[in-house]
Amino acid sequence: MGEKQNLESVGEEIVAKEAAWSFGGETPKKFNEHVRRSVPYYEDGHELIVKLSDYFIKDGSVCYDLGTSTGKVIKFLAEQHKHRSNVKLVGIDSQVEMVTEAKKMIPPELDVELIVDDIVTHQYQKADLIVSYYTMQFVKPHLRQIMLKKIFETLNWGGAFIMFEKVRASDARFQDIMQTLYTDYKIEQGYSSEEIIAKTKSLKGVLEPFSTQGNLDLLKRAGFVDIMTVFKHICFEGFIAIK
């Protein structure tokens, strides 16, 4: 079995083992290009989050970006709200290498706090906005409800949680259609069949998407009542939940 665990290319010179995808190591250096090609409308999602943030970030607000990776979302939010006073913007990621890359990209004058920590166990301040951009799908399923409950409790009344996720379809037929369309998309982006298969294999047991209804159920059990889909394309969906 050990011989089958050789590193395989998943694109952008990133290599991974089966069922062992990692955001650490050398991945952060190539991450931005890899995720831009892998996730449809990835950069458009950033723009949407920034526009939505105008409704929730005000003077004195605290905002968290969970699983901040190279810090693009939190950087854009900092640029959008740099005219406001006493706004605290915090990006959290468990990978040291990701936070290192984020620190290179975000200029000191934007005053963003970047923290290496586990988002599940981190001690949060009360916040007006929390963003999870394709992060919750990597939280172990048995911890996901705990995490969302913590998010709900962290938010001030009227605060928002914006969550983008890869989602599973509601039944096997739709899942087959969605998966095929997504594979077609990756081929159109220039990935080889070998790279697509290697990436899929590397994510086994690491990426665990829930269905749209599964995500809605998690949010409702956490305490959210006002929930809306703000983005949807194939198997990718963005939600906003307001406390």
- Taken in order 62, 67, 72, 73, the sign of the CA dihedral is negative
The pLDDT of residue 32 is above 70 = yes
Q: According to the model, what pLDDT value does residue 2 have? A: 45
Mean pLDDT of the chain, nearest integer: 93
Q: According to the model, what pLDDT value does residue 242 have? A: 98
Contacts of residue 95, Cβ cutoff 8 Å, sequence gap at least 6:
22, 23, 24, 28, 69, 116
Give the pLDDT band (50/70/90) at residue 5.
Answer: low
The residue ranking higher by pLDDT, 149 or 199, is 149
Amino acid at 205: G
Give the pLDDT band (50/70/90) at residue 24.
Answer: confident
Helix (H, G, I), strand (E, B) or coil at 64: strand
Stated pTM of the model = 0.94
CA distance 109 to 195: 39
Q: According to the model, what pLDDT value does residue 3 have? A: 43
Extents of the domains making up the chain: 42-168+206-242
Torsion of CA 106, 110, 116, 121, to 10 degrees: -140
Give CATH superfamily name and number for 42-168+206-242.
Answer: Vaccinia Virus protein VP39 (3.40.50.150)
Q: According to the model, what pLDDT value does residue 1 have? A: 41
**CB burial string 128-141: b at 16+ within 10 A, e below:** bbbbbbbbbbbbee
233, two tokens: 């394309």
Give the pLDDT band (50/70/90) at residue 91.
Answer: very high
The pLDDT of residue 79 is above 60 = yes
Give the pLDDT band (50/70/90) at residue 235.
Answer: very high
Amino acid at 128: D
Q: Report whether 130 contacts 53 (CB < 8 A).
A: no
Q: Which residue is listed with tokens 């929930």?
A: 227
Nearest Cα neighbor of 199 from 18, 67, 36, 33 is 18
Encode pLDDT of 111-123 as tens digits. 999 999 999 999 9
Average pLDDT for residues 26-44, to the nearest whole number? 89
Q: According to the model, what pLDDT value does residue 221 have? A: 98
CA distance 243 to 224: 6
Q: Report whether 159 contacts 125 (CB < 8 A).
A: no
**Which among 12-16, 21-25, 203-207 has the top mean pLDDT?**
203-207
Give the pLDDT band (50/70/90) at residue 236.
Answer: very high
